[in-house]
Copies of this chain bind each other. A is one copy, B any other.
Amino acid sequence: MLLSILYVVGITAEAMTGALSAGRQKMDWFGVMLVASATAIGGGTVRDILLGHYPLTWVANPQYLAITCLAGLLTTGIAHWVIKLKGVFIRLDAIGLVAFSIIGTKVAMNMGLHPGICMVSALVTGVFGGLLRDLICRQTPLVLHKELYASVAFGASGLYLALLEMNISELTATIITLIAGYLLRMSAVRFGWRLPAFQLETEGPLH
């Protein structure tokens, strides 16, 4: 229930930021809805395809797709307002990221998969929406360069699994993971924490 609410908050916020990317590419309304939906529910879609977890969430529950399309279209009218509220959206994005990670972990757990795959499932759920957005908008995938993002998804999933392993109730584990993941993500944004980068100057492809 808590996760369902946070999921809807998360996909709405993600859809709105996705729509902004579409606007920077001067896309039409269809493009806006496509990029908004890919950003918001693309991660869960890629996860379900990789795990063979059918039907996809939005195929079984078309209302989620309707929400992301409407949120995207709405953004075309209130874009400057959305941009001004940047700080709010960074917070909503952090909450969504952790909620998506917990949901991704649970999907893989319920399929009886290896804990390592549960954490990969969380990571894909949290990260691949933004990756798809950047692929469609032909931008350098931000998630591969910027502050801790994938790491938060991965770490939140590991924490959640560890808490359940300690026989802590699902609700408590969810709340602890949400708080810890949110704080980690917001600290990473504030202090610019990032993973080390691998920079290779040598020219010439190996292949």
Contact = CB atoms under 8 A, between A and B. Distances in A.
Contacts of A55: 51-52
Contact of A194 (B28, B56, B145, B205): B28
B50 A19 contact: no
Contacts of A196: 28-29, 76
A176 interface: no
A114 B56 CA distance: 13
Nearest to A82: B206
A20 to B, nearest CB: 6
19 contacts: A17-B207, A19-B198, A23-B200, A24-B200, A28-B195, A28-B196, A28-B197, A30-B149, A32-B198, A51-B55, A51-B59, A52-B56, A59-B113, A59-B117, A66-B116, A82-B206, A83-B202, A86-B206, A138-B138
Interface in A11-30: 17, 19-30
Contacts of A138: 138, 140
In order of increasing CB-CB distance, the 5 nearest A-B pairs are: A23-B200, A31-B144, A52-B54, A28-B195, A30-B150
A27 B113 contact: no
Given A62-B116, A116-B66, A145 B50 contact: no
Given A23-B198, A198-B23, A28 B76 contact: no
A103 interface: no
A79 interface: yes
A131 B135 CA distance: 11
A197 to B, nearest CB: 5
Contact of A20 (B31, B197, B200): B200
